[in-house]
Amino acid sequence: MTVLFDKVCLIGIGLIGSSLSHAMRAGKLAGRIDVYDHDAEARTVTVELGLADQVHDNVAGAVMDADLVILCVPAGAVADLAPEIAKSLKTGAILSDVGSVKQAVVRDLGPHVPDKVHFIPGHPIAGTEYSGPRAGFADLFKGRWCILTPLPGTDPKAIERLQLLWEKMGSQVELMEPGHHDQVLAITSHLPHLIAYTIVGTATGLEETTQREVIKFSASGFRDFTRIAASDPIMWRDVFLNNREAVLEMLGRFTEDLTALQRAIRWGEGEKLQEWFTRTRAIRRSIIDAKQA
Amino acid sequence: MTVLFDKVCLIGIGLIGSSLSHAMRAGKLAGRIDVYDHDAEARTVTVELGLADQVHDNVAGAVMDADLVILCVPAGAVADLAPEIAKSLKTGAILSDVGSVKQAVVRDLGPHVPDKVHFIPGHPIAGTEYSGPRAGFADLFKGRWCILTPLPGTDPKAIERLQLLWEKMGSQVELMEPGHHDQVLAITSHLPHLIAYTIVGTATGLEETTQREVIKFSASGFRDFTRIAASDPIMWRDVFLNNREAVLEMLGRFTEDLTALQRAIRWGEGEKLQEWFTRTRAIRRSIIDAKQA
Ligand SMILES: NC(=O)c1ccc[n+]([C@@H]2O[C@H](COP(=O)([O-])OP(=O)(O)OC[C@H]3O[C@@H](n4cnc5c(N)ncnc54)[C@H](OP(=O)(O)O)[C@@H]3O)[C@@H](O)[C@H]2O)c1
Ligand SMILES: NC(=O)c1ccc[n+]([C@@H]2O[C@H](COP(=O)([O-])OP(=O)(O)OC[C@H]3O[C@@H](n4cnc5c(N)ncnc54)[C@H](OP(=O)(O)O)[C@@H]3O)[C@@H](O)[C@H]2O)c1
């Protein structure tokens, strides 16, 4: 394969950052990879696993001369990093990220981006419940979508270059408006995580003997929720704080529906329940047909 | 292996009934297997797949002379079947079931059970989102729990015999009081299913373009919910109608917790969110340690 970017800089080397390194190494897509992380332990692991050609403990050094800079930190860390990154970016560089919320990064990073730097926010729809630099693997993005949310007026050639990188890592790319991204992800990702966190927390509030049984008999449905609710707390705190409006809007709809089903259970309205449960089966079918199952 | 029961009668041959047939055949645990189902199509499939030595279109004939009768029908079907079953049971037979709610079967079937028949309700904590006689397989119960909820005074020898059958099919058996079973399952199974059904339904209520994207980007969390929400509508209608109190009680706790998290999001209380999300991680750890992951 051909090198697509001579120097790539990854800022933050957790699950996503380390997976990017593995995937770019596997495809020989980057001439060299430089990594910055604020965490000494993460930097040590980066060296140990050979995730970088050079590891930096300051942002500016890592960003210097990079053709592509990708932020792979929690949404709440972007605002503080923005000025430091901005001042070291070279002319013609592409600046991207992998954050789960897109309006927030446009808000926090956008104003700092110098002219002649191509700012193209991104979000790979791929992940696991593990975090940290040891959690990454080269195939994470294979067969998955990556959403890019460039602002109007962005150079199409730069978008194409970044798109090609994701495609070489096995992803299909979709372009979307940041606000729309945040709405779609609120229902497909943020609300499911919030609900899973809630119910697993509810279970921890039960008396101790029941709690032991909850663990023992988790295979009956609960287990799937615990996997989701094991995801990184800081990442998810930042997602909810940074996509507040869309999450609250979807949560409102969900609560209305839940109240209606609760009422149907209380009043023994079997037909209403059966009709609802039948409708949801069709969605599963569509997901299987779309090969996302 | 040794035959544990000369004649086993399965009433209802869906996912669980057919899996029982496969598992008992594989272990040579039953001298013969007789099946009753009210559905002609299910009976045809039973013959086609060799799930029974004899297929019946009336309950009485199937139950006649059986040493073990297991009901494998939705909870709502038990009350109608009870008198028919009861009058054909032979002295010394064991009568059991696999239903997901246990107080209801004690209520609907219990009063009909003749003296000298051992009534031992059961519930295997094993399943998939598929239903019908083609969905079953011999290994469904392997490595899974089976809960038995005999009433006080039940012959311990009969319990032992039924327990041995489940163990030979690969399950571990736990004895429990029916009311306690219904409470534990309300949080580990019934509430997770209700919530999954709700959110998938909420998604179907969105405008059409968004709906297409929900399917496309389901890998971000939503997908796991759709699998749960593809479970059999009739079975689940009956679960909620028959375990109403415990489900409403757990739903009340869940809603309280969800409201608290909603408030934390609205007011930007990051610490509260992070603390909650950190606590739920520990539960996942326990499930992995308990080898139920
Ligand atoms: N996990 C997923 O499933 C997934 C999927 C798609 C997108 N994303 C997005 O990808 C981003 C990274 O997620 P992840 O799962 O890779 O998280 P992660 O495994 O927790 O890694 C984040 C890394 O960034 C470091 N970091 C935090 N603040 C920093 C700062 N101010 N400067 C430099 N480094 C900093 C962290 O170090 P410390 O831990 O020591 O603070 C950690 O090494 C997030 O924006 C997330 O929304 C995640
Ligand atoms: N699925 C799971 O994950 C799971 C796990 C543990 C326990 N259970 C319990 O196991 C039981 C069976 O569930 P399943 O998943 O095997 O359901 P299923 O695949 O839908 O099978 C139920 C079978 O019973 C038949 N049936 C319904 N009413 C009947 C009646 N009055 N007389 C005779 N047959 C009747 C159904 O026929 P028609 O479809 O034509 O009506 C179908 O063939 C339920 O009580 C459920 O709560 C299920």
Q: Do A119 and A231 belong together in one domain? A: no
Average pLDDT score over residue span A26-50: 98
The closest alpha carbon to A189, from B189, B110, B36, B203, belongs to: B203
Query: Which domain does B206 fall in, by range?
Result: 180-289
Tell me how far the alpha carbon of residue A225 lies from the centroid of ligand 2, in angstroms.
Answer: 25
Q: Do B134 and B276 belong together in one domain? A: no
Q: Do A168 and A240 belong together in one domain? A: no
- In contact, A136 and A17? CB cutoff 8 Å: yes
How does residue A210 score in pLDDT terms, banded at 50, 70 and 90?
confident
Tell me how far the alpha carbon of residue B15 lies from the centroid of ligand 2, in angstroms.
Answer: 7
Q: Do B133 and B185 belong together in one domain? A: no
Substitution target from A140, A213, A239 for chain B, most B beta carbons within 10 A: A213
Torsion of CA B209, B211, B213, B215, to 10 degrees: -150
Please give the Cα distance from A191 to B263 (Å, whole number). Answer: 14
The model scores a pTM over 0.90: yes
SS3 B179: helix
Is A201's CB within 8 Å of B147's CB?
no
Tens of pLDDT, residue by residue over B92-144, are 999 999 999 999 999 999 999 999 999 999 999 999 999 999 999 999 999 99
Residue B104 burial (CB count, 10 A): 23
Residue A78 backbone dihedrals phi, psi, to 5 degrees: -65, -45
- Closest ligand to residue B43's CA: 2
Please give the Cα distance from A222 to B182 (Å, whole number). Answer: 15
Q: Do A151 and A186 belong together in one domain? A: no
Please give the Cα distance from B284 to A117 (Å, whole number). Answer: 43
Encoding tokens for residue A36?
């910055």
Is A127's CB within 8 Å of B184's CB?
no
Q: Do A31 and A171 belong together in one domain? A: yes
For B251, the closest chain A residue by CA position comes to A262
Select from B129, B194, B222 the Cβ nearest to the Cβ of A189: B222
Is A174's CB within 8 Å of B250's CB?
no
CATH label of the domain that carries residue B30 = 3.40.50.720
Low-confidence ranges of chain B (pLDDT < 70): 1
Tens of pLDDT, residue by residue over B38-60, are 999 999 999 999 999 999 999 99
Q: Do B222 and B169 belong together in one domain? A: no
Tell me how far the alpha carbon of residue B152 lies from the centroid of ligand 2, in angstroms.
Answer: 27
Q: Note the pLDDT of residue B1.
A: 63
pLDDT beyond 90 at A293: no
The closest alpha carbon to B224, from A181, A130, A226, A122, belongs to: A226
> Partners of A33 in the beta sheet?
A8
> Partners of A70 in the beta sheet?
A10, A96
How does residue A48 score in pLDDT terms, banded at 50, 70 and 90?
very high
Please give the Cα distance from A198 to B260 (Å, whole number). Answer: 9
CATH label of the domain that carries residue A253 = 1.10.3660.10
Q: Note the pLDDT of residue B115.
A: 94
Q: Do A41 and A96 belong together in one domain? A: yes
Residue A7 backbone dihedrals phi, psi, to 5 degrees: -130, 125
Q: Do A265 and A127 belong together in one domain? A: no
Q: Do B252 and B132 belong together in one domain? A: no
Tell me how far the alpha carbon of residue B12 lies from the centroid of ligand 2, in angstroms.
Answer: 6
Cα B270 from chain centroid (whole Å): 39
Q: Note the pLDDT of residue B283.
A: 87
Query: What does the angle CA A146 – CA A149 – CA A150 come to, to the nearest 5 degrees?
Result: 130
Q: Among A154, A176, A198, where does a domain finish?
A: A176
Q: Among A141, A176, A211, where does a domain finish?
A: A176
Measured on CA atoms in the order A151, A29, A43, B278, is the torsion positive or negative?
positive
Using CB atoms within 10 Å of the CB of residue B111, give its burial: 0 to 12 exposed, 13 to 18 middle, 19+ buried. exposed
Please give the Cα distance from B249 to B187 (Å, whole number). Answer: 9
Q: Which of B235, B238, B242 to mutate to test the pocket of ligand 2 (most atoms within 8 A of CB)?
A: B235
DSSP B63: H
> Partners of B147 in the beta sheet?
B123, B174
Q: Do B161 and B191 belong together in one domain? A: no
Complex ipTM value: 0.94
Please give the Cα distance from A122 to A97 (Å, whole number). Answer: 5
Is B202's CB within 8 Å of A270's CB?
no
**Distance in Å, alpha carbon of B115 to nearest chain A alpha carbon:** 33
Q: Note the pLDDT of residue A1.
A: 64
Substitution target from B204, B213, B249, B278 for chain A, most A beta carbons within 10 A: B213
User: Measured between beta carbons, which residues in chain B are less than 8 angstroms from residue A173?
Assistant: none
Q: What is the mean pLDDT of chain A?
A: 96
Q: Note the pLDDT of residue A290.
A: 82
Q: What is the DSSP string of B71-124?
A: E-S-GGGHHHHHHHHHHHPPTT-EEEE--S-SHHHHHHHGGGPPTT-EEE-EEE
Number of domains in chain A: 2
Q: Among B156, B176, B196, where does a domain finish?
A: B176
Q: Which residues line ligand 1 (CB under 6 A)?
A: A 11-17, 37-39, 42, 72-75, 77, 80-81, 98-100, 123-124, 127, 131-132, 232, 235, 239
Q: Do B143 and B234 belong together in one domain? A: no
